[in-house]
Amino acid sequence: MKNVKLKSPPLEPKPAKATTRRTGPRSAYRTAEVEEIFRRFSVQRPEPKGELEHVNPFTLVVAVALSAQATDAGVNKATRQLFAVADTPEKMLALGEERVRDYIKTIGLYRNKAKNVIALSEKLISDFGGEVPRTREELVTLPGVGRKTANVVLSMAFGQPTMAVDTHIFRIANRIRLAPGKTPDEVEAHLLRVIPEHYLFHAHHWLILHGRYVCKARRPECERCVIADLCKSPEKTCDIPAPLVELPPQAISVAG
Ligand code: SF4
């Protein structure tokens, strides 16, 4: 009998979006799977919120700059009093480095951060008329503001869809092979390619909150995960997705 060769399924799933040629590992998910992952996140948290307290773009820049290697809860505790007396670059400058240091001394690296807060206030006044600029190129010229901080500010203060890759996002993107990359910049570029545009605006918060509450660093809590059936992480411990319901407010924006 003639041997009939059966068509075998492709070994590698199709990448989520095949746009440009690129190096490095591909996303392990098909376009429809990525769509479904973010649809579920959007049901859980229809309006996810950033956890850093702020009252205007200036205080957001300061809060994000202070949050490096610190928890949002710790930053909020310190900035509540600081922003009550200094919510503009002019007032921050008038307060002076020493007093800023006193307000934020519970936050790690506070000496250096106080220096940066004063320096960035000065630069905002001298170069930008006291206003927070609206482009990444300008934002990263401010002392203590890197690409990640700039992305958070563009998204939260000015509603621009960006992908600020923090420790949670970097871990998830690689762990579940959604957008593998060796550096935060690689992961950022990869996520921007694979996440459907209509989910991009909230994707940053969804991934952070998913990483903070479910797909945790030491041990992912897969039995509580709404994408457990879709997840392709070698670390996952459960295939059954958790019930898809909207979460209570404390799991949407509470500081952790
Ligand atoms: S199934 Fe587990 S490893 Fe996969 S995303 Fe959910 S929590 Fe993370």
Over 80: is that where the pLDDT of 4 sits? no
Same domain, 76 and 104: yes
Q: What is the domain range of residue 63? A: 57-158
**Domain end marker among 131, 158, 185:** 158
Same domain, 44 and 167: yes
Q: Considering the candidates 123, 166, 185, 216, report the single residue annotated as catalytic.
A: 166
Task: Identify the CATH number of the domain in which residue 148 sits.
Answer: 1.10.340.30
Same domain, 42 and 61: no
Nearest to 87 by CA among 61, 51, 107, 116: 61
Tens-place pLDDT, residues 41-50: 999 999 887 7
Nearest to 231 by CA among 17, 40, 19, 11: 40
**Domain end marker among 136, 158, 180:** 158
Amino acid at site 100: V
Tens-place pLDDT, residues 156-197: 899 888 898 989 999 999 999 999 999 999 999 999 999 999
Tens-place pLDDT, residues 194-243: 999 999 989 999 999 999 899 999 999 999 999 999 999 999 999 999 99
**Is residue 38 within 8 Å of residue 235, measured between CB atoms?**
no
**Is residue 247 within 8 Å of residue 229, measured between CB atoms?**
no
Amino acid at site 232: K
Q: Count up the domains in the chain and report the number.
A: 2
Over 90: is that where the pLDDT of 10 sits? no
Same domain, 90 and 147: yes
Alpha carbons 5 and 97: distance in angstroms, whole number? 75
| Residue at 14 is within a domain | no
Same domain, 74 and 148: yes
Over 90: is that where the pLDDT of 118 sits? yes
- Per DSSP, the residues of 18-63 read --S---SPPPSS-HHHHHHHHHHHHHH-SS----S--SSHHHHHHH
Atom of ligand 1 nearest to the CA of 231: 4
Same domain, 126 and 37: no
Tens-place pLDDT, residues 54-97: 999 999 999 999 998 898 899 999 999 999 999 999 999 999 99
Q: Considering the candidates 148, 216, 229, 236, report the single residue annotated as catalytic.
A: 148
Mutate to test the pocket of ligand 1, among 225, 232, 237, 240 (most ligand atoms within 8 A of CB): 225
In the block, tokens 């206030």 appear at 121
| Residue at 124 is within a domain | yes
Q: How far is the CA of 242 from the centre of ligand 1 (A)?
A: 11
Q: How far is the CA of 208 from the centre of ligand 1 (A)?
A: 13
**Domain end marker among 135, 158, 181:** 158
Same domain, 96 and 185: no
| Residue at 9 is within a domain | no
Same domain, 195 and 154: no
| Residue at 110 is within a domain | yes
Mutate to test the pocket of ligand 1, among 222, 223, 235, 238 (most ligand atoms within 8 A of CB): 222
| Residue at 10 is within a domain | no
Alpha carbons 114 and 92: distance in angstroms, whole number? 10
Over 70: is that where the pLDDT of 7 sits? no
Q: Which residues contact 245 (CB under 8 A, 6 or more apart)?
A: 43, 44
In three-state secondary structure terms, 85 is helix
In three-state secondary structure terms, 122 is helix
Alpha carbons 26 and 181: distance in angstroms, whole number? 9
Nearest to 204 by CA among 256, 243, 149: 149
Same domain, 118 and 170: no
Over 60: is that where the pLDDT of 2 sits? no
Same domain, 42 and 115: no
Q: How far is the CA of 175 from the centre of ligand 1 (A)?
A: 8
The larger pLDDT score, comparing residue 135 to residue 2, is at 135
| Residue at 252 is within a domain | no
Task: Identify the CATH number of the domain in which residue 41 sits.
Answer: 1.10.1670.10
Amino acid at site 19: T
| Residue at 4 is within a domain | no
Q: How far is the CA of 171 from the centre of ligand 1 (A)?
A: 11
| Residue at 200 is within a domain | yes
In three-state secondary structure terms, 158 is helix
Provide the whole-model pTM: 0.74
Same domain, 119 and 38: no
Task: Tell me if residue 166 is catalytic.
Answer: yes
pLDDT of residue 20: 45
CA-based radius of gyration for the chain? 21
Over 80: is that where the pLDDT of 250 sits? no
